[in-house]
Structure 1
Amino acid sequence: MRHRHGYRKLGRTSSHRKALHKNLAIALIINEKIETTEAKAKSLRSFIEKLITKARKGDFNAHRAVFAYLQDKEATKKLVNEIAPRYKERNGGYTRITKTRVRRGDAAPLAFIEFV
């Protein structure tokens, strides 16, 4: 049972999960809306919202902190300069998850995750 367990393992090792979050976050930042499985979307939400909160300051240290997680210059620049300033007055809740369909191959529930 996973009562009060802190995060989803997604059937991956910690390094694989970290890489998955990083790649999904980069895709979300660049495209601003992606479709993925519901579990991955829910897991990504906490990861990306923490990054946006860090990026809201907009200074050099915010760039460094975000880049440490993403390791992608283009995505870091877009997050700190374009996306994070939209949420200056908002305390959390930067993303929206919308359930879409069931994937035909493995019947996995899919969802869109996008910025509000």
Structure 2
Amino acid sequence: MKHGRKVPKLQRDAAHRKALLANLVCALVEHRRIRTTLAKAKAVRPLAEKMITLGKRGDLHARRTAISELRQTGTVKKLFEDIAPASKDRQGGYTRIIKLGQRRSDSAPMAFIEWVDAYVPPAPKSEEAAADVVTVEEPASAEEAAPKKKRATKKAAEATAE
């Protein structure tokens, strides 16, 4: 009988599978979104959600349990300080899996797995791009909005002034 045998084996022995899942959770904590196969994403989801539950508890025993599972203290610190507090009002379902389609080389189904509450869009790629962007405050009324539409970057403003 196969009762209670719902662990996806991923064609690995137990030690390799445990290390793989711990590394995937660490990558998910560090990058907040990872691209992997659908089977691995579905296998990593329960472990990631257990780590968030430990992070929401926040006591010393929960921290030590997370370190014993993930084996990276810096990742556990980021999990407990950044990601878990963002999900404090949520009762479960901390991760989201987005299907991407087939991988070109071997047609394996691919997916993104990401945090529901703690996802941050990627920053500008270079420091110059970040320095060029000018923040424009929202006007209080529609009359003030009309003349300020063309203020996007410093370089564009200098180019129109010349």
Does the alignment reach a TM-score above 0.5? yes
Identify which range, 96-105 or 53-62, moves more after superposition: 53-62
Q: How far apart, in 2, do the equivalents of 1:4 and 1:102 lie?
A: 30
Identity among equivalent pairs (%) = 48
In structure 2, give the amino acid aligned to 1:106: D
Aligned equivalent of 2:74: 74
For 2:69 and 2:81, locate their aligned partners in 1 and report how far apart those are by CA, in whole Å: 17
Q: 1:50 corresponds to which letter in structure 2? A: K
1:40-51 to 2 correspondence within 5 Å?
A: 40-51=40-51
Determine helix, strand or coil for the equivalent of 1:80: helix
Q: CA RMSD in A?
A: 1.4
Of 35-44 and 4-13, deviating more is: 4-13
- Counterpart CA distance in 2 for 1:23 and 1:94 is 18
Match for residue 114 of structure 2? Answer: 114
AA paired with 1:101? G
Q: Deviations over 1:50-78 (max 9, x none)?
A: 11111111122221111110110111000
Higher strand proportion (structure 1 or 2): 1
Question: Structure 1: which 4+ aligned runs deviate by more than 4 Å?
Answer: none
User: Which structure 2 residue ranges, 5 or more long, are not aligned?
Assistant: 117-162
Name the aligned partner's letter for residue 107 of structure 1. Answer: S
Q: TM-score, normalised by structure 1?
A: 0.93
Query: Residue 103 of structure 1 aligns with which residue?
Result: 103
Of structures 1 and 2, the larger Rg is shown by 2
| Alignment correspondent of 1:28 | 28
Q: CA deviation at 1:86?
A: 1.2
Task: Report the Cα offset of residue 5 of structure 1.
Answer: 3.2
User: 5+ residue gaps in structure 1?
Assistant: none
Work out whether residues 33 and 115 of structure 1, in 8 Å CA contact, stay in contact via their aligned partners in 2: yes
State whether residues 62 and 80 of structure 1, in contact with CA within 8 Å, keep that contact through their aligned partners in structure 2: no
